[in-house]
Amino acid sequence: MLTATTALALAGAGLIALAPQAQAATTVNFSYTGGAQSFVVPAGVRTLSVDAFGAQGQDGRSDGGAGGLGGRARADLTVTPGQTLQVNVGGTGGYGGAGTAGRGASSYLDGGAGGGASDVRTGGNGLGDRLLVAGGGGGGGNRIGSRDTVIPPGGSGGGTSGTAGADGTNRAIGGGAGNAGAGGAAGTGFDDDEDGQGDGGGGRYGGGGEGGSPWSNRGFHGVGGGGGGGGWYGGGGGGGTISYGFGYHEDSGGGGGGSGHGPAGTVFDTGVRSGNGALSITYTGTA
């Protein structure tokens, strides 16, 4: 029987070439911190498997509409040993290009902020240096009046496109979804021509639009729209609305979800992540 000692001796004599012993895969997990993190590619490693999740959008305040779920993006990335990558993990209503919540007449009438995207960057660490992106979900809308109806939710973060935020039961429109080439359309507000500006903001490259923030000069009740989710392109902000009193039922629109991005072969899932985002990097070396 060939022992390890004999094999090494024979290898030294040029009689046997020992195959490299494969190492177990190593996974490094990143969670939401509210800031940029870094990863240095180990020596000998030229491929990384990255699994990224965008964050969920916030719910509308005071039992408002549900925030849209974050998306997922999985891909193998070609890298260089010693290279430093920037890792950004999106937060619910925070870091990662999340659109701000629309403000109502009181805080309990605010919409929800969008969810931030999660990504890996190289080079100068700017938006154009993103290698892989998982889109964030849009923030939920809100309502005033009857509680026995479904309040408009935010759209989901997705792959090459998120999904749009839901419209209100009146004429407030939800924010559009971010896609591979453009931000989501701004949701329009209800009755903003007479009482205040209630339109949401359009999604943009890397960020979601703000939720509509209506106001009233006649004592009516403004209800804020949901903010758009961050992404390769962000979702649009949902439109706000003016309610004519507590006896009426008025909803604002939910924010749209942001899109994902990645190299050829990237696998995307839409609307799968609740809470803050997450990201993991797995690599295998040889001894």
Q: What is the pLDDT of residues 46-70, one digit of tens each?
A: 999 999 999 999 999 987 899 999 9
Task: Determine the pLDDT at residue 106.
Answer: 83
List residues bridging with 29 in a β-sheet.
280
Strands 47-53 and 26-31: unpaired
Give the rounded percent of residues in the chain with a pLDDT score beyond 90.
69
Task: Determine the pLDDT at residue 71.
Answer: 98
Q: Which two tokens stand for residue 219?
A: 């004592």
Strands 26-31 and 84-88: unpaired
Residues 16-42, mean pLDDT to the nearest whole number: 84
Residues 237-257, mean pLDDT to the nearest whole number: 82
Between 17-31, 204-218, 247-261, the lowest mean confidence (pLDDT) is in 17-31
Top pLDDT among 5 and 229 is at 229
Task: Determine the pLDDT at residue 147.
Answer: 58
Residues 107-114, mean pLDDT to the nearest whole number: 92
Average pLDDT over all residues of the chain = 88
Whether pLDDT at 4 is above 80: no
Top pLDDT among 250 and 284 is at 284
Task: Determine the pLDDT at residue 105.
Answer: 82
Is 139:60 a contact under the CB 8 Å cutoff? yes
pTM: 0.88
Q: Which two tokens stand for residue 148?
A: 């026995």
Residue 257: band (very low, low, confident or very high) from pLDDT cuts 50, 70, 90: very high
Between 117-126, 210-219, 261-270, the lowest mean confidence (pLDDT) is in 210-219
Whether pLDDT at 83 is above 70: yes
Task: Determine the pLDDT at residue 217.
Answer: 54
Q: What is the DSSP code (8-state) at residue 43?
A: T
Is 71:157 a contact under the CB 8 Å cutoff? yes
List residues bridging with 121 in a β-sheet.
86, 130
The amino acid that residue 146 corresponds to is S
The vertex-26 CA angle with 21 and 31, nearest 5°, equals 175
Beta strands in the chain (DSSP E): 26-31, 37-40, 47-53, 70-78, 84-88, 118-121, 130-134, 143-144, 221-223, 241-243, 250-251, 267-273, 278-283
Residues 155-180, mean pLDDT to the nearest whole number: 92
Give the rounded percent of residues in the chain with a pLDDT score beyond 70.
83
Whether pLDDT at 286 is above 60: no
- Round the CA-based radius of gyration of the chain to a whole number and report it: 24
Strands 221-223 and 143-144: unpaired
Task: Determine the pLDDT at residue 233.
Answer: 98
> Where is 10: in which H helix or E strand?
helix 4-12
Task: Determine the pLDDT at residue 11.
Answer: 45
d(CA 71, CA 232): 12
Burial of 71 (0-12, 13-18, 19+ CB in 10 A): buried
Strands 250-251 and 278-283: unpaired
d(CA 189, CA 176): 13
Top pLDDT among 228 and 24 is at 228
d(CA 281, CA 131): 13
Q: What is the pLDDT of residues 126-163, one digit of tens each?
A: 999 999 999 999 999 998 776 556 789 999 999 889 99
